[in-house]
Amino acid sequence: MLKVMQLARWSIVVPVKTLIRAKTRLAGAAGPYRADLAVAVASDTVAAALACPLVARVVVVTADPVPAERLAALGAHVVNDPDRGLNAALRVGAAEAVQLAAGDAVGALQADLPALRPRELERVLTAALEFDESFVPDAAEVGTTFYGVRPGIAFRPRFGGESRARHLSGGAKELALEAIPSVRRDVDTVEDLKEAEALGLGPATIQIAPHILRA
C-alpha cells in the first residue's frame, strides 16, 4: 500500500507591539504615518505567512485592538499580550499554538517583514524541521527574524537587540539559506524600508511607504 508522508505543519507566532510604542526608530521619517506603517507591515507579514502552504495558523500576540482587528480580519488567531516584554509575549503565543495543535511545529516571526514571500518562508520552515531549535538572522546579521522549534521541543525565544548571538550561544541552529532575502529584511529604519521596497513590498505597505520615502 502506498504511504503518503505527512510533513509537519507550523503554527507561526507574530508579536505586535502596542501602536503608541511601535516603530519609534522611524518616528522622525514617518511622522503621522508611523502607526499606519506599523499596522501595514504587520498586515503584509501575516498575510504572506498565511499564504505559505506549511503554515497551518498564525497566532498574533498584541494588546492593541487596532492591529488585533486588522490581523484577525486577515485570518490570524489573536491572543492578548500580558505586557511583560517581547519574549513573554512570544511564549504566550506559543502556549496558545500548542493548545490549538500540539503536533505542529512552532515558530516566531517578527512582524516587520513587509516584503515577505510565502515561497521563501516555505524554504525556511522546511529547513527548520531538520533541527530541534533553529533561527534565521536578520539582514544585518545582528538580530533574528525567525526562531522555531520542532513539535514537542521547548520554545525558548531570546529576541531583543543582539539576539543572533544569544540564539547561537543557546544552541539553536542558524539556518544559512540562500534565496530568503524577504525573510531576513526586517524594517526598523528608512534605509531598511528602501531595501524592502527594492525586494517588493506587500499590498498594505506599498500604500504607506511613498508617504515616508518620497515625502
Residues that bind ligand GTP (CB under 6 A): 15-17, 22-25, 61-62, 81, 85-86, 89, 110-112, 188
Residue 138 contact partner, candidates ligand GTP, ligand PEP, none, CB within 5 to 8 A by sort of partner: ligand PEP
**Smallest distance from the beta carbon of 22 to ligand GTP, in angstroms?**
4
Given ligand GTP, ligand PEP, none, residue 24, with its beta carbon under 5 to 8 Å by kind, binds ligand GTP
Of 23 and 57, nearer to ligand PEP (C-beta) is 23
Least Å distance, CB 188 to ligand GTP, is: 5
**DSSP H stretches of helix in the chain:** 27-30, 34-50, 65-74, 86-100, 118-128, 163-169, 181-184, 190-199, 205-213
Nearer to ligand GTP, 25 or 119 (CB): 25
CA angle 145, 50, 148 (to 5 degrees): 35
List the single partner that 23 binds among ligand GTP, ligand PEP, none, CB under 5 to 8 Å by kind: ligand GTP
Q: Name the nearest CA neighbour of 93 among 27, 134, 29, 148.
A: 148
Whether 163 has a binding-site annotation, put simply, is yes
Distance CA 155, CA 89 (A): 12
Closest to 113 in 3D by CA, of 42, 208, 204, 19: 42
Asked whether 38 and 19 are in contact (CB, 8 A), the reply is yes
The gap from C-alpha 27 to its chain's centroid, in whole angstroms, comes to: 21
Q: What is the CA radius of gyration of the chain?
A: 16
Nearest to 43 by CA among 78, 74, 81, 12: 74
Nearer to ligand PEP, 174 or 188 (CB): 188
- 9 makes contact, choosing from ligand GTP, ligand PEP, none, with CB < 5 to 8 Å by partner type, with none
CB closer to ligand GTP, 61 vs 175: 61
Least distance CB 103 / ligand GTP (angstroms) = 25
d(CA 158, CA 21): 20
Nearer to ligand GTP, 9 or 34 (CB): 34
Judged by the rule CB under 6 A, the positions of this chain that interact with ligand PEP are 110, 138, 143-144, 159-160, 163, 186, 188
Residue 25 site contact among ligand PEP, ligand GTP, none (CB < 5 to 8 Å, cut-off depends on kind) = ligand GTP
Q: Is 62 annotated as a binding residue?
A: no
**How many angstroms separate the CA atoms of 88 and 76, rounded?**
19
**Which residues are known binding-site members for phosphoenolpyruvate?**
144, 160, 163
